[in-house]
Chain A
Amino acid sequence: MGALQSLHGRPEYLDLAEKTGFSFEQIRVLHERFKQLSHNEETLRRSHFNEIPDLACNPIRAQIIEAFFDRRNYHQNGEGTVEEIGFEEFLVVMSHFRPPSLHMTEEQRENVRREKLRFVFNMHDTDNDGTITLEEYRHVVEELLSRSGALEKETAKSIADAAMLEVASISMGHMEPDEFYEGITFEHFLKLLDGFEIESRMNIRFLNMDTSTLCK
């Protein structure tokens, strides 16, 4: 019912709903939020994101924000970053976090999984070259640990090293002594997180209720 009503009010949502799989109600709520974030402008810039107080203490804030400006996450085979995003892009990026539907075939589940992992992979792969290099991975770990002050960079580095060695051993099996591991490709990334149920973790229950008045 509510969906129909809002459909009448906002015909342009139809297109977005098809594209992203959100319900009209959810789109409406997200649009409210979008306007709130952008101070009623048409586009969002990085500075808008940086103003969100709740996000301020998130250790990987930079990556999250960057993900919204990354063309790779727009389903359009684009590359590179953009300076400002409209509501459609905002919604498309959000749609990566839609929970999987209740009834899915194995194939669909696998696709969802790939898609979500791809999102994470893109987040790590900052220079866009298809591999997560050690430097990039170290950066991730450092950021992750940056909030637990007592740690030195050295620890983060060695953890990243350990993780990388783990990747090498999992994905390459064994290597000749003089081989070296370039970085994590997406295939390896899939293999690496084989047991990690991303489809049940990387999702948000998008509410139909407008909560934007409750947060800043």
Chain B
Amino acid sequence: MGTSSVSRARTPCLLLLPLLLLCCSGGKCELQGSKPLAPDNAPSTAKPFINQINEPQAFPEEERVNLPVFTMDYPRIQVPFEFTLWVLLASFAKIGFHIYHKITIWIPESCLLIVIGLVVGGIMHSVKEEPPAVLDSNVFFLYMLPPIVLDSGYFMPTRPFFENIGTVLWYAVVGTLWNSIGIGLSLFAICQFEVFGVQDINLQENLLFASIISAVDPVAALNVFEDIGINEQIYIVIFGEGLFNDAVTVVLYSMFAFLADLPIVESSDVFLGVARFFVVGVGGVLFGLLFGFVAAFTTRFTHNVRQIEPLFVFMYSYLAYLVAELFAISSVLAIITCAITMKYYVEENVSQRSCTTIRHVVKMLATISETLIFFFLGVVTITTDHEWNWAYILFTLLFAFIWRGLGILVLSQIINPFRTIQFTFKDQFGLAYGGLRGAICFALVFTLPDNVNRRNLFVTASIAIIIFTVVIQGISIRPIVEYLNIRRTNKNLNTINVEIHTRVMEHVVCGVEDLCGQWSHYYWKDKFKKFNDRFLRRILLRDNRAESSIVSLYKKLELQNAIDFLDTPVGDLSAAPSIISLHDEMMEASRPKKKFLAGDVRKMHDILSRNMYKIRQKTMGYTNKYNLPDDSPTREILIRRHASIRRSLRAESFREMPGRNIPKSQRYYSLQPGGDLESAFALRRRSHGGGEVDRLSARLQPSGASARSSSRSLVAMRMLNTIKEARSAGEQPAASARARTPSPGGSASDERGPGGSSFRAPVPAPRRRSSGRAEGHEDPEHPGGGGGVEPVRPPQLPPPVGWVRENQDPGDIGAGDPLLRHSSQGPGGAGRS
């Protein structure tokens, strides 16, 4: 993004913010005004209505009240209206942060949100407005928490997670217990001193409070860690710890809350508590698995109702959450397990578009929830009643910090001998310092029952610790991590070679482990993979052929490439059939709509060649809390790759070529960046015995004027032309008819008029030789289109030759977009085998 555009866009948005604030607080004021009015106002406006409807002539004297021309019934819409305003306000705040990017580099977003919340809270306080309804713990646990957890579970980097699962669970379970008990006991010790004036807090209440504040919320830390590319181990440990200690904390909380009510705690209660702990944890996981598999199984049958596919993901995971809540077992664990379980299968079952939708919606909901939570945290800080006790709050802060540090130190020493990659002291410091408190803590403290004495003190202390950790640690964590120079890693290089070697490594390590008679998670991974291939995939997937992660990455790259081709700036893409998928549209909209001069083939070639030979080493973040994983891969490789497929497809003539010219190894040709594509292409083609490019360019020059819009796609098609197109519903009759006719499709397409179809003529020749089956489907549904109809058919871009077979499943034909279905394997999925 250019800096100029930043500054330009900033001003209106900065203007918008106060405007919205005003609008929002204005709305509040109105509400404030209308609330007292409501009792007498609403009936007086409503009465005439009712009377007119029910008994129009019974009381004629009341007809003096005329039909109101303008009425306002604010209470009716109040809740959704205010909710919408809150969401909008929060979203505008987010827009604001991201327009000026430097802010979020140095100050974490959660921090900024709290600050804005404080401001809004201040405004609300000054107009005596009540805090928003979200503080109801039910609202939080039933509506705000599930999206956040679903997001974490759904975008969990699976491979590193399962590689480190032992450590993650160790820190999450034992670490949280350690923190809760440690902080609780130390605070209880503090309470014994008379000087601090908190003697009335008993042990149970201290433990209860400690269990609330020991939940670590890694959002801010993760953003920083991801930004600076910290090593995978630390990242995943923080990530997983944040996920699972939610579960632990909720269990602990309910346990201590129960104990806090009891006058005397017996030892049997403790054992029951431990038993309950396991029931809650294991139960949550089981429910998650159950609903995950059911969801996966359901999506097996949704290929005729693509529109509602995404719904199943949300409904089932929410169902898992609610059912777990029903039985008071860990709903967080349930939804996480459900998401992890279903993701892999669902993404293979649903169409590409549904997959995109699912991801976007998951991200969107989670972002909104999280934004609102931090925002409300700020608001509530101002608007609730506080009880400030210096000693208690300062000691809480101190103990939270100390016990976290000690916990990590001790637990790391214990877990280190069991880890292949051990945590150094620097790593441990990063882990300890990344332990910020957040949303869960905030929500839990408001669920404290009223009969807890000093409830307000607990609320104040919790808010204090959240704000302290988020602000102080959140801001300082980046400089400290950078200063300490904690081991970093290159983010996942999403290249085929790295993928191949990841797999090679797994197999080698697994093999050598077998050799020396030892095993680790690779052993279990192997076992699971076998089980998965043999049973799970058969049951849950419609198209259950096992797929290597290399192949899926490869497909993804291919697909991306195909989409990119169609998205390169050109005006008339929008005129293409309406099947352009949602995100294609989005990508397109972000580009300037440049009108090409008709027949400006040269320029187009320039653009293409630039696109082709720029090496992009895109990295894929793990799971940014706020961004979707970046799928864009290196394009260039694929383009070259298409060339190579085309060559290899050109049957035998090609295969002999390298043998003759190059004795030993395959030749690889390349271009200079921005080099002249046309000549290079000609060269390349000629060198492989095909003179078509000359024919092609010869055709192009004269027909250029009419080939206007398709001129770009011309090259795209040429690039991709080795790819076979799978059948899609609409074109089937025509296609099969044409396939039967002996006349070559080339001439058929020529007949379709000069409007750009002519470019196809040179292409099919080589293809025909190699792929008889697919050939018939190459010329889809515009037989009578003539010059008027654009021959650009982006969404039907066929999948590459490698997996065309898989489309033969007749059930797919109805799907409409065979291409898009196929690389539904996500970036996370690539990590799995």
Residue positions of A touching B, CB distance < 8 A = 29-30, 33, 36-37, 49, 52, 54-55, 57-61, 63-64, 68, 94, 97, 99-100, 102-103, 120, 123, 131, 133-135, 140-141, 144-145, 148-152, 154-155, 157-159, 161-170, 172, 174-183, 192-198, 200-207, 211-212, 214-215
Q: B550–A204 contact, CB under 8 A?
A: no
Q: A204–B497 contact, CB under 8 A?
A: no
Q: B665–A204 contact, CB under 8 A?
A: no
Nearest Cβ on chain B to A39's Cβ, whole angstroms: 14
Q: B803–A162 contact, CB under 8 A?
A: no
Q: Which chain A residues border B418 with CB–CB below 8 Å?
A: 205
Q: B497–A180 contact, CB under 8 A?
A: no
Q: B517–A211 contact, CB under 8 A?
A: yes
Known: A97-B512, A144-B500, A150-B546. A168 touches B670 (CB 8 A): yes
**Looking at the complex, which one of A103, A164, A203, A207 makes contact with B518 (CB distance below 8 Å)?**
A207
- Flag whether B628 is at the interface (Cβ < 8 A): no
**Looking at the complex, which one of B518, B640, B648, B806 makes contact with A157 (CB distance below 8 Å)?**
B648
A94 to B641: give the CA distance in the assembly, Å: 37
Could you list 7 A-B pairs, sorted by A, with CB under 8 Å?
A60-B508, A123-B508, A133-B666, A178-B669, A205-B418, A214-B517, A215-B517
A82 to B337: give the CA distance in the assembly, Å: 50
Kindly supply a per-residue 1/0 record for chain B positions 476-512, scoring 1 wherever the CB is within 8 Å of any chain A CB and 0 otherwise.
0000000000000111110111101111110111111
Q: Which chain B residues border A61 with CB–CB below 8 Å?
A: 511
> Which 8 A-B residue pairs are closest in the complex by CB-CB distance?
A195-B490, A180-B667, A175-B670, A181-B668, A150-B545, A54-B514, A155-B802, A195-B493
Q: A201–B500 contact, CB under 8 A?
A: no
Q: B551–A58 contact, CB under 8 A?
A: no
Q: Which chain B residues border A178 with CB–CB below 8 Å?
A: 669, 683
Q: Which chain A residues border B493 with CB–CB below 8 Å?
A: 194-196
Nearest Cβ on chain A to B830's Cβ, whole angstroms: 13
**By DSSP majority rule, is chain A's interface helix, strand, loop, or mixed?**
helix
A179 to B495: give the CA distance in the assembly, Å: 23
Closest chain B residue, CB of each to CB of A144: B503
A134 to B662: give the CA distance in the assembly, Å: 12
Q: B516–A206 contact, CB under 8 A?
A: yes
- Flag whether B660 is at the interface (Cβ < 8 A): no
Known: A180-B668, A195-B491. A120 touches B501 (CB 8 A): yes
Q: Which chain B residues border A181 with CB–CB below 8 Å?
A: 665-668, 670
**Looking at the complex, which one of B498, B515, B554 makes contact with A49 (CB distance below 8 Å)?**
B515
Question: Which residues between 635 and 691 of chain B lie within 8 Å of chain A, taking CB atoms?
Answer: 636-638, 640-641, 644-645, 648, 662, 664-673, 675, 680, 683-684
Q: A144–B636 contact, CB under 8 A?
A: no
Q: B672–A174 contact, CB under 8 A?
A: yes
Q: A33–B516 contact, CB under 8 A?
A: yes
**Looking at the complex, which one of B517, B518, B547, B641 makes contact with A162 (CB distance below 8 Å)?**
B641
A177 to B519: give the CA distance in the assembly, Å: 49
Residue positions of B touching A, CB distance < 8 A = 231-233, 416, 418-422, 424, 489-493, 495-498, 500-505, 507-520, 526, 530, 545-548, 550-551, 554, 557, 613, 615, 634, 636-638, 640-641, 644-645, 648, 662, 664-673, 675, 680, 683-684, 800-803, 805-806
Q: A133–B509 contact, CB under 8 A?
A: no
Known: A54-B514, A155-B551, A174-B613. A169 touches B670 (CB 8 A): yes
Which of B420, B496, B511, B519 has the most chain A CB atoms inside 10 A of its CB? B511
A134 to B665: give the CA distance in the assembly, Å: 6
Q: Which chain B residues border A103 with CB–CB below 8 Å?
A: 424
Q: B502–A154 contact, CB under 8 A?
A: no
Nearest Cβ on chain B to A88's Cβ, whole angstroms: 15
Besides the known contacts A102-B422, A180-B668, A202-B509, 9 further A-B residue pairs in the complex with CB atoms under 8 A apart? A33-B516, A123-B508, A152-B802, A155-B803, A158-B641, A161-B641, A180-B667, A180-B669, A196-B498
A168 to B644: give the CA distance in the assembly, Å: 13
Q: B801–A145 contact, CB under 8 A?
A: no
Nearest Cβ on chain A to B822's Cβ, whole angstroms: 13
A176 to B679: give the CA distance in the assembly, Å: 12
Q: A163–B684 contact, CB under 8 A?
A: no
Nearest Cβ on chain A to B616's Cβ, whole angstroms: 10
**Looking at the complex, which one of B491, B645, B675 makes contact with A158 (CB distance below 8 Å)?**
B645
A215 to B514: give the CA distance in the assembly, Å: 9
Nearest Cβ on chain A to B134's Cβ, whole angstroms: 42
Q: B644–A55 contact, CB under 8 A?
A: no
Which of A29, A59, A165, A194 has the most chain B CB atoms inside 10 A of its CB? A165
Nearest Cβ on chain B to A111's Cβ, whole angstroms: 16
A202 to B504: give the CA distance in the assembly, Å: 10
Q: Which chain B residues border A167 with CB–CB below 8 Å?
A: 497
A151 to B805: give the CA distance in the assembly, Å: 9
A201 to B191: give the CA distance in the assembly, Å: 49
Q: A158–B671 contact, CB under 8 A?
A: no
A61 to B514: give the CA distance in the assembly, Å: 11
A109 to B419: give the CA distance in the assembly, Å: 18
Closest chain B residue, CB of each to CB of A215: B517
Nearest Cβ on chain A to B168's Cβ, whole angstroms: 16
Known: A178-B669, A180-B668. A60 touches B641 (CB 8 A): no
Q: Which chain A residues border B502 with CB–CB below 8 Å?
A: 196, 201
**Looking at the complex, which one of B491, B500, B514 makes contact with A55 (CB distance below 8 Å)?**
B514
Q: Which chain B residues border A63 with CB–CB below 8 Å?
A: 508
A165 to B667: give the CA distance in the assembly, Å: 10
Q: B634–A166 contact, CB under 8 A?
A: yes
Which of A57, A60, A161 has the most chain B CB atoms inside 10 A of its CB? A161
Known: A52-B515, A169-B637, A180-B662. A145 touches B550 (CB 8 A): yes
